[in-house]
Amino acid sequence: MRTKKKTQLKITAISLFLIAALTSVCIIFAMSNAAKAQAEKIISGAYYSELASPESFVPAEPETAVTVSAKNAIVYSYKRSRPLYEKTENGGKIYPASTTKLLTAYTALQFLSPDDAITVGDEIGLIHPLSSRAYLKIGQKIKVSSVMKGMLMPSGNDAAYVLAAAAGRKITGDPELSAKKAVAAFVDEMNGFAKTLGLENTHFTCPDGIHDDDHYTSVYDMVKITKYALSDQTIAEAVKTFRATVRSESGEINEWKNTNKLLDPDSDYYCA
Backbone φ and ψ for 218, nearest 5 degrees, come out as -135, 165
Rounded to whole angstroms, the Cα distance separating 19 from 69 reads 16
- The beta strands (E) that lie in 88-228 are given as 93-94, 117-119, 141-143, 217-218
For the annotated catalytic residues, the residue numbers are 98, 101, 155
Question: Environment class of residue 243 by beta-carbon count within 10 Å: exposed (0-12), middle (13-18) or buried (19+)?
Answer: exposed
Q: What is the pLDDT of residue 272?
A: 65
Tens digits of residue pLDDT in 29-78: 433 333 223 333 333 333 333 333 444 444 444 445 568 888 999 999 98
Q: Rounded to whole angstroms, what are the CA distances from 193 to 81, 108, 110, 261?
A: 22, 11, 10, 30
**Cα distance between residue 270 and residue 272, in whole Å:** 6
Angle of CA points 179, 183, 188, to nearest 5°:
150
The answer to whether 44 and 66 are in contact (CB under 8 A) is yes
Q: How confident is the model at residue 65, as a pLDDT? A: 59
Give how far Cα 49 sits from Cα of 87, 160, 180, 198, 267, Å: 19, 37, 48, 30, 23
Q: Per residue in 159-215, pLDDT tens?
A: 999 999 999 999 999 999 999 999 999 999 999 999 999 999 999 999 999 999 999
Contact 117, 227 (CB under 8 A): no
The model's pLDDT over 117-168, given as tens digits with 9 standing for 90+, comes to: 999 999 999 999 999 999 999 999 999 999 999 999 999 999 999 999 999 9
Measured distance CA(156)–CA(165) in Å, rounded? 15
Confidence of residue 271 (pLDDT cuts 50, 70, 90): confident
